[in-house]
A and B are shown apart, each in its own frame.
Chain A
Amino acid sequence: MANLPQLYRFCFLMTGESSKAQDVFQDTVREAAFLVAKGEAPADRYWFFREARWRCLDVVARGVQPEEGTNEACEISPQAPEQIEQLEPEQLAIWISAAPEPQRSILALYYLDEFTYREMMSMLGLKLHELSRAIASGRREFQAWLDATVPVAAEK
């Protein structure tokens, strides 16, 4: 069974906006209820996240697109947890939702801490090296963004 609070958080990370996340979440759960009524209930919890993912990508594609370009990257700082503590969840969601696919979906699923790496590979149709590369580069890029956004903590 899908963990619905986690499903909503996934939508939020993918879209970066609570209103869009709410729409996608509701459409996904409504679709599941519709299938249940037809006697074709979703086979597993992955269905919810797959369905929500496509809906999120569709919604985001219709909105304003982030500029393409290579993000700066730097090694993870020991002060990173303190920097992250100063962030609002919306800031994280905006950053993740601006990441290119499939990194956006990978980071959203990974930081839900809901799925194993095998489950993520299966859901996203990726190989291990693609998954690990996206997560590792996501960390370094987020650290660079953190250093630019929360400089006070970085200077400590």
Chain B
Amino acid sequence: MKRLSRGLRALADCAPIENVTAPDRRMRTAVSRAKRMDDFAAQQSFDQAIANLVQAIPVSREIEEWFANEKMAEGAKRSWRKTAFHPAILAIGIALAVIAVVAWIKFDEQMHAFPGTATAKKLLNVAAMTRPSDFEPVQAEAGTLSDLFFMKYRLEHYDVPREFSQQRTIGVRKFDDDEAGEVAQIGLAEKRMQLFLFPASRDSKTGRPEEFEGWRYIEQEGWIGAVQARNGILFMAAVRGTKKDLAPYLAKQ
């Protein structure tokens, strides 16, 4: 006769004594297979005889009187309020709330992310560290600097959008960054605002610049940036403050 597997043998050893339906499927399988074995019938008779002996344990009158306490020992049902304020439930609730908030923040970040977010954030840090003396002094309208960038640095399409083209500049500089590539940085007189122009990242499959529509905001350590993509170049206006410090400029047509 075929032997039972180790797992089924272990379950058959703990099989219910009364001939009741086993509580789970694995146990039912184990019992039905074990019933084909010779020794299982002996085991069941053995267990049944001991269980009968256990049920024959005499219960004294003194003990029987305590059975009247069954209702008392049952106790009241725990109310939902008490359950909700149980420290373990409370701790789980707080943990889930924190996880939900973090997940929402991450989701929100992803929703507002655009190609070049990481580079733009890095340049916001550069903006925070740049002093006016770092610039090469140039006093002109920002919109006229495209020619300067092309003539002096061979930077094509480094055009300041018309929303900022009328702003007076205090200086410019060009530097190379490992991630951003060739970056043109312009210092403005107004609100010590800074403008950045740098190449958009390229799609690894097509090689085309990754662009997006309209203005996108990013924040980093008290600085706010508004980013736009055009002709494969990203433009970012950066200022210390919040979204509402930049919003009036972007509303200009």
Q: Which residues of A are at the interface with B, using a C-beta cutoff of 8 A?
A: 1-2, 4-5, 8-9, 12-13, 18, 22, 25-26, 29, 32-33, 35-36, 39, 41-43, 48, 75-78, 80-81, 84-85, 87, 89, 92-93, 110-113, 116-118, 120, 128-129, 131-133, 135-136, 139, 142-143
A85 near B11 (CB under 8 angstroms)? no
B50 near A111 (CB under 8 angstroms)? yes
Shortest distance between the CB of A119 and any CB in chain B (Å): 9
Alpha-carbon distance between A89 and B63 when the two chains are bound, in angstroms: 17
Shortest distance between the CB of B81 and any CB in chain A (Å): 12
Given contacts A4-B70, A13-B54, A29-B69, 14 further A-B contacts (CB under 8 A): A18-B58, A26-B66, A36-B73, A81-B46, A81-B49, A84-B52, A89-B53, A111-B50, A111-B54, A120-B14, A128-B7, A128-B11, A132-B10, A136-B13
B11 near A132 (CB under 8 angstroms)? yes
Cβ of B16 within 8 Å of any chain A Cβ, yes or no, is yes
Closest to B41 in A: A78
Instruction: Provide 26 A-B residue pairs closer than 8 Å at the C-beta atoms, listed in order of the A residue.
Output: A1-B74, A2-B70, A4-B66, A4-B73, A5-B67, A8-B57, A13-B57, A22-B60, A26-B66, A33-B69, A42-B73, A42-B75, A76-B42, A80-B42, A80-B46, A89-B53, A89-B56, A111-B17, A113-B16, A117-B14, A128-B14, A129-B10, A132-B9, A133-B13, A135-B13, A142-B50
B49 near A89 (CB under 8 angstroms)? no
Cβ of B18 within 8 Å of any chain A Cβ, yes or no, is yes
The secondary structure that dominates the B interface is helix
Among B49, B52, B63, contact of A8 (Cβ-Cβ < 8 Å) = B63
Q: Which residues of B are at the interface with A, using a C-beta cutoff of 8 A?
A: 7, 9-11, 13-14, 16-18, 23-24, 27, 39, 42-43, 45-60, 62-63, 66-67, 69-70, 72-76, 78
A41 near B63 (CB under 8 angstroms)? no
The secondary structure that dominates the A interface is helix
Alpha-carbon distance between A126 and B74 when the two chains are bound, in angstroms: 27
Q: Which A-B residue pairs are the 10 nearest by beta carbons?
A: A41-B75, A132-B13, A132-B10, A117-B14, A84-B49, A81-B49, A32-B73, A36-B75, A89-B57, A113-B17
Please judge, given known A-B contacts A26-B66, A80-B46, A128-B11, whether A5 and B78 are in contact too, CB under 8 Å.
no
Alpha-carbon distance between A111 and B52 when the two chains are bound, in angstroms: 9
Shortest distance between the CB of B28 and any CB in chain A (Å): 12
Chain B neighbourhood of A41, CB < 8 A: 73-76, 78
Chain B neighbourhood of A13, CB < 8 A: 54, 57
Shortest distance between the CB of B24 and any CB in chain A (Å): 7
